[in-house]
Structure 1
């Protein structure tokens, strides 16, 4: 579970995120939607522990900046943060050592790479990979420790249609495993079939929080446009 209470992030006179609260529940896919400047990525970075903020953020009841929270949180940033001089395989080994994973992580890592169709790139340096491949490696590295909560910031950007389909399946599987899945995205059509709870942001605030059940037959995009004035990234 990811719990956010009264989260505020200011840059001098600019309030990027203004006193927002929400919960990404276990076994649910929660999506954050909003136009440019809405505060989506800032909120995600606060949850991941990368920015200072005011408010309270907990990961499965642990403060998000604690070691306990970091052990159970997976984070896929919008721009993959990889090491140029490590190979694909070495990235997974680095994660395994950092998280002190037990025997079996190699097979799990290979399965993730094969599923994302980059197993044949295992010995290539990350700087030799395409944008889509670095995104796939970032996803594999985040999922290798089998986190209890995962946050994705624009995870589908740069992926080909087949890879997008596979990642969407992964989202659903994570949900079925009881994991809290939080996704920030502007590709509303792509996530239309998988979301459970949607947060629509604008100018640092949450305009609406709604579940799929409560929305009924109305398309999520239609609600998004009605609240944001037809603005989409």
Structure 2
């Protein structure tokens, strides 16, 4: 008799990641991994190293040391880049492409054949349907962020990196982005989301990872972190975060 065992594949592996600026470590020899279908909230005060960590993972910053693999491939390989999308804190879109042309560009780059239908869904969700012909340079920061999110979702990636995705969004867009998090989780996608809006990840995160001064000081399920926290299970994620990141 043949027994099949379902094993979750590691979608992201970070081993001994270091990023130095001059002699200062912005990221200090951190190691962690994300399983397939796992949602992890990355928290930390300003300057903790969250954005630097994400930028090193996706290849926007050159790491000083360490190994990073995505879906079993080196993070800088074409094979890895086909698997993930990255939504930066500050949206970077093309000044002379329209909203629709941004989606078409992503579709052609990733070979998305049904992109028009998928794009329409995201345009409606983010109130971009009547702005499809606007150039990137004519959009507000919030609109640019919406376009950035739509472009990231279009190729249906297996792993998504969100760096402060709510920055600049209006309340409706924030609500819809939270819904997208839940939908992506239900679809088994792997998500690493860095945010200061803790309620946006508290309900859906399988695990919370907290950084301070370039180090990971907490990395566990919320219930396990609370169990080791003086406030007990009645404490909130905010209470836990403030306690772990307070100055000694």
TM-score by length of 2: 0.89
- Contact 2:218–2:225, Cα closer than 8 Å, also in 1: no
Q: Secondary structure at the match of 1:107?
A: helix
RMSD: 1.5
Shift of 1:154: 0.5
Shift of 1:157: 0.7
Q: Please tell me whether residue 140 in structure 1 is matched to residue 157 in structure 2.
A: no
Determine which of 65, 69, 93 is the counterpart of 1:58: 69
Unaligned runs of 5+ in 2: 1-10, 227-232
Determine which of 151, 174, 179 is the counterpart of 1:164: 174
Matches within 5 A, 1:119-198: 119-198=129-208
Matches within 5 A, 1:10-159: 10-53=20-63, 54-102=65-113, 104-159=114-169
- Contact 2:162–2:194, Cα closer than 8 Å, also in 1: yes
Quote the Cα distance in structure 1 between the aligned partners of 2:247 and 2:185. Answer: 30
TM-score by length of 1: 0.94
- Contact 1:168–1:194, Cα closer than 8 Å, also in 2: no
Query: What do residues 165-193 of structure 1 show as CA deviations (whole Å, max 9, x unaligned)?
Result: 10011011111111110011122233322
Shift of 1:230: 7.2
Q: Please tell me whether residue 222 in structure 1 is matched to residue 242 in structure 2.
A: no
Q: 1:122 to 1:64 in 2, by over 3 A?
A: same
Query: Which range moves more in the overlay, 28-37 or 191-200?
Result: 191-200
Count of equivalent residues:
230
Quote the Cα distance in structure 2 between the aligned partners of 1:12 and 1:230. Answer: 25
Ranges of 4+ aligned residues in structure 1 off by more than 4 Å? none
Higher relative contact order (CA 8 A, sep 6+): 1
Determine which of 220, 232, 236 is the counterpart of 1:210: 220
Query: What do residues 93-143 of structure 1 show as CA deviations (whole Å, max 9, x unaligned)?
Result: 1111111222x1111111111111111111111111111111110000011
Unaligned runs of 5+ in 1: none
Quote the Cα distance in structure 1 between the aligned partners of 2:225 and 2:43. Answer: 15
Larger radius of gyration: 2
